[in-house]
Chains A and B, each alone.
Chain A
Amino acid sequence: MKNLFILVIIILFFSCKHEFEKPYWNVDLTSPIAFSIIDLNSMSNDSVFSIDTLSDNSLTLVYQNDLLDVSIDSNFILNAISTTKNVKLQTIVFPDQTIPYQINFGELIQSSGLGFLFPNDSFRIVPAIPGVINDVIAIDANEYFEQMTLTEGFIDITISNDLPSDLSNLVINLRNQGETTNLVEIILPYLASGDVFQMTESLSNQIIYGDMEIEILNADLVGTGSTPVLIQYQDALTTEINIRDLVLQQGIAIFPSQEIFNEDTVVAFDIGDVRLTKVLVDQGGVEVIGVSTVQDTLKIEYIIPNAIKDGQMFKLNFNLPPAPIGESITVVEFFDFSGYEIDLTGQFGDTVNTLYTVSRGWIDSSGIVTEISLQDSIFNTITVKDIIPAKAWGYLGSDTISGEESINFDFFDDLNGSFDLEQLEVSLVTQNFLGSNGQVNIKKLEAVSNSESVLLNSSLINSTFQIEAATDNTDNTITSSELAITFDQDNSNIDQLIELKPNKFNFEYEIITNNDVNQELGFAYQGLGLKSELQMNIPVFFSLDDITFSDTVEVDFTIPNDIDEGNFILIAENGYPLNAQIELLMLDDANNLLQTLISGQEILAGEVGQNGMVSTPKLSQLDIPFSNASNLNNTKKVGFRVSFSTSPQNQTIKFYSDYSIKLKLVGNFNYSVEQ
């Protein structure tokens, strides 16, 4: 039994052995691939072309291209101007110094030993006392100087006798301490009580030191005879030494605070026939170069009273530090001028292009004794650098700008066939941003298409048009003025130029700025002058007869290997009154034809009702078979050629803003499923 069972199993196993292949099969796949809704409004992203909608909802094609952009900024660059100051020490005046000395009656009586006989505020007879004063008194002027070698100078000595008695036989010498030679010698035979003696001595070529001394060799007290007088100890003999009008050759002294220069300057900018009353500075500044050998601080102040920013006038303060001993010091600084508004009418507001400045230089004494020499000098140059205005006001000068421009026009490049325009307007629109009137003259407009050309004929050619000045608003903006010179089928042959399907326009012009020489209240903003552009308005209202548009688009897609064959269906729901014959070509990198996808198939136009508008979009189905998927993979470009014809034929049709064509591409593929 057991053996039988085993035998049955073996037989079953071998009998059931079967050649088995993995199953595989084909499936039909259908899927939408892409869709697009095309309307003329979606073309308005182009910077050159746009679509506008008119009041009746019909469309107009608008083309605009810049022609000119001229500015007259270069007329207003204010050239650099400099002022230089060179000051030597010999022009510096040292301040007068007054050194007082006093000896009072109390001191005299006490020194004579008779003080007890002559109490203060008593009445006594003052006896004669010979040689009552015999002293050397030190005078310390180091506070002012240590030593000065003078080229010029004077010393005034004033002796006032306020003692109760006359004095006689006064002998007074003034000299530098430690020297035997006297600067001044005074021999005064008699000086009555209450009298003042004055004398002046020249100090030319003298050297004086801060340490001086007055030697009173002799002074006799004459006495009051028998007349008692009020004894007041504070009554004194006063000596006042005044050193003045010093001109130093050199010295060691406290450099005095004093002005070196102080002057107003008026400079005029040379800017041709431009007469500016005001500018707002965009770029520019003041450069100061200072060189000094003075061993004290030099300060320079430079003011432009008519340059205002944020309510403050332009003022620069520039310091030259003390020079090292035996050397000079140089400092250069730049002060930015941008943002300042400068009145160029001068100090009294009666000129133009003029800058009024005030400059001042002084030595600000440090109070420190330093070496001073006649060789010391101060040199400074103040330069107002090239000023580039952001804005300028005044008479702007007159400019004639003429030339010839060519504009490339590629709209018709891929278009074959003919069209007839019902309406057309081409305008040259000029915007004036200058605060002065101008004139515009179009000398020539020509359309060129390969070897053909058409010249514009119009009474507007070679006519001079006036363009008004722009308006300067209070918020620092400009409202430009505009001039449009329009050519249409009534005043020119402009339609012939466009129907030529040109690839270029040649344009010759002349613009005169500021033709009114009396316009003193003009203005100009930096970068803004006159701009012109060409505008073309073509109402989309035409008839087309087999007008062909062709282009090549680069593509990049990969078809899976499992897809054997199939077809595409292009479903078009056409809301335009346009029939379109389509040809689609698959090209490789070298533009070799791989396969023709579509040829001779047509997308039908939407049905046009009695009101001339499309009432019902038309559905068309274009079959695009392909049997070689590798061709698709090798396709790098798709060339398409579309021929449009309006429907109904030979009838001018308007296009409305709500027209569109919906395209959908559906793929049907035979796909091989393998395990």
Chain B
Amino acid sequence: MRALTLILLLATKVAFSQSYLETEYQIGLLNSSINAQHILDGSGFLSNDFKDQFINDLDEDNYFFIQQESGSKYRNAKGWSVGFKNSILGSIQFPKDLVELGLYGNGQLIGQDLSLAPISVQVVHFTKLFYDQEINENLSTSIALVVGHQFANLDVKKGLFNTADLGVSVNYDLELEAQFSDTTNLQIYSFNGIGFAFGAEYKQDIENGKISFAINDLGIIRWNNKTSNLSINSQYAFEGIEINDIENFNDSSITNELDKIEEDLKGVTVKENYHYRLPFRLNAKLSQNLNNKIANELTFGVDYINNFYPSPRWSLQFHKDLKKHRVSLGYHVGGAEHAGFEFAYAYSGDVNQIKVYTKQANYFNPESAYGIHFGIGIRKILKPKQEKKNDK
């Protein structure tokens, strides 16, 4: 009996959830080291003062993060939903030494051993067709078919560069691997791989609040056999062109030397299938109701995108509700971006709901603006027929 009651209660809970259509879009370019003031000052000729300041502001390892995601979903009142989501994710990691070399040239770094690794570049573009199912009011799972469009990985494991004293030799030691999908078909939604992904979310009400844990995009893409796998392992010490006969020296000798280097850097390329692990996402939140005039609720969260976030992204948000409006202001650290404020506004109407948000809300101060981000979500509640009749 008790079990039956529980089932009925559950069924009632599920039966009374709303159906809706939802669309979301977000785009962002974030980084850990370069702020808007740097960009404003980096107009025209870059003076040595600017270069010095810029280099000084960089970390030993620096990150860029690019994100564009869009998707739509239909959620049924019975607890299941279907939808699609297109994701473009990119990350770049580079060392300070690389920027120093690019800005100053090796002429001012004579005798120094520069480590130009690790450098990594990752870009992936895929579309997910998913099906979510609420198991119960706490747990839901999802399963998705993933279509891979493009991807590229570059991982420089070793990149040593040195200019000897007096410039008598220039040496490098390079070891890198790269994989990238077929480049012959340049259509943005080309079909280059297929895979699957799983997800799950658990949420629960706690005293004066809620907690939730989620894992998404746990899966792989199998890229087709036109995927290139390149490896380069090259060491070179350039000591100048050897001249045996001064009378026959001209710049074709230089061209020949450059051709040798180019040949050496071609590496080994193999075309074959490639299994790519999707960047799974972890998310955890803890919300607590606040009873004060400034904020109604506090949310403490952590996000992590595997292979794209060098570290988890921690955030703390304060929410203020005004009737159907909610304004949220938060602060984050970690992830692939510099610490900063974030902001969100949401309107929750009976039928239409909208949310706009940004992960970088530091635009008021260029020195603390380390990227741009914008997101918007629109939800339309779908009323059942009976309710509509009642409304009339």
Contact = CB atoms under 8 A, between A and B. Distances in A.
B189 interface: no
Interface stretch (A223-231, A396-404, A517-525, A665-673): A665-673
Contacts of B169: 32
Contacts of A32: 167-170, 238-240
B251 A557 contact: yes
Interface in B143-185: 163, 166-170
A644 to B, nearest CB: 17
A29 B244 contact: no
A263 interface: no
Contacts of B102: 27, 673
B44 A554 contact: no
Given A31-B238, A34-B242, A35-B243, A23 B167 contact: no
Contacts of A36: 242-244, 246
B40 interface: yes
A33 B251 CA distance: 10
A473 B364 CA distance: 105
A556 B169 CA distance: 24
B: interface residue count bin:
35 or more
B240 A557 contact: no
A569 interface: yes
B363 A671 contact: no
B167 A31 contact: yes
A568 to B, nearest CB: 10
Nearest to A621: B166
A29 B168 contact: no
A25 B243 contact: no
B108 A28 contact: yes
A666 B167 contact: yes
Given A29-B106, A33-B241, A34-B242, A555 B168 contact: no
Interface in B243-257: 243-244, 246-247, 249-251, 253-254
Contacts of B239: 32, 35, 664
Given A23-B43, A25-B45, A668 B240 contact: no
Contacts of B277: none
Nearest to B47: A25
A428 B389 CA distance: 130
A553 B246 contact: yes
A554 B247 contact: yes
A18 B170 contact: no
Interface string A13-31: 0000011111111111111
Contacts of B246: 36, 553
A24 B249 CA distance: 34
Given A12-B363, A31-B170, A36-B243, A24 B44 contact: yes
Nearest to B240: A32
B105 interface: yes
B44 A23 contact: yes
A558 B168 contact: no
Contact of B107 (A24, A29, A35, A555): A29
Interface in B17-40: 40
Interface in A1-54: 12, 18-36, 42
A571 B243 contact: no
**Residue picked from B108, B167, B169, B254, most chain A C-beta under 10 Å:** B167
A553 B247 contact: yes
A19 B240 contact: no
Contacts of B118: none
B42 interface: yes
A22 B105 CA distance: 19
B88 interface: no
B105 A29 contact: yes
A34 B250 CA distance: 11
Interface in A588-639: 621
A556 B250 contact: yes
Nearest to B40: A18
Contacts of B103: 25, 27
Interface in A538-560: 553-558
Contact of A35 (B44, B166, B240, B363): B240
Nearest to A19: B43
Contacts, number: 103
A23 B42 CA distance: 6
Nearest to B237: A32
A555 B250 CA distance: 6
A107 to B, nearest CB: 112
B168 A571 contact: yes
Interface string B205-247: 0000000000000000000000000000000001111111011
B284 interface: no
Nearest to B170: A31
A34 B240 contact: yes
A285 B378 CA distance: 111
Nearest to A569: B166
Contacts of A665: 240
A669 B110 CA distance: 13
A558 B251 contact: yes
A4 B370 CA distance: 27
Contact of B105 (A28, A42, A555, A666): A28
Nearest to A1: B325
Interface string A36-80: 100000100000000000000000000000000000000000000
Nearest to B250: A556
A429 B169 CA distance: 50
Interface in A570-592: 571
A668 B253 CA distance: 19
A30 B247 contact: no
A151 B168 CA distance: 113
Nearest to B39: A20
B51 interface: yes
Interface in B94-108: 102-108
B6 interface: no
A33 B238 CA distance: 9
Nearest to A21: B44
Contacts of A12: 363
Contacts of A20: 40, 43
B167 A30 contact: yes
B46 interface: yes
Contacts of A23: 42-46
A22 B44 CA distance: 5
A21 B363 CA distance: 21
Nearest to A554: B247
A25 B44 CA distance: 8
Given A12-B363, A32-B170, A668-B107, A25 B51 contact: yes
B247 A25 contact: no
A157 B138 CA distance: 156
Given A25-B103, A666-B167, A34 B249 contact: yes
A30 B107 contact: yes
Contacts of A558: 251
Nearest to B42: A23
A673 B51 CA distance: 14
A27 B243 CA distance: 28
A40 to B, nearest CB: 14
**Residue picked from B238, B240, B253, most chain A C-beta under 10 Å:** B240
Interface of A: 12, 18-36, 42, 553-558, 569, 571, 621, 664-669, 671, 673
29 contacts: A19-B43, A20-B43, A24-B46, A26-B105, A27-B103, A30-B110, A30-B167, A30-B170, A31-B167, A31-B170, A31-B238, A31-B240, A32-B238, A32-B239, A32-B240, A34-B242, A34-B249, A34-B253, A35-B242, A35-B243, A553-B246, A553-B247, A555-B250, A556-B250, A557-B251, A569-B166, A571-B168, A666-B166, A669-B107
Rank and list the top 5 A-B pairs by shortest CB-CB distance, nearest first: A28-B107, A27-B105, A32-B240, A30-B167, A25-B46
Interface of B: 40, 42-46, 51, 102-108, 110, 163, 166-170, 238-244, 246-247, 249-251, 253-254, 363
Given A25-B51, A666-B240, 11 more contacts: A23-B43, A25-B103, A35-B241, A42-B244, A553-B247, A569-B166, A569-B167, A571-B166, A665-B240, A667-B167, A669-B107
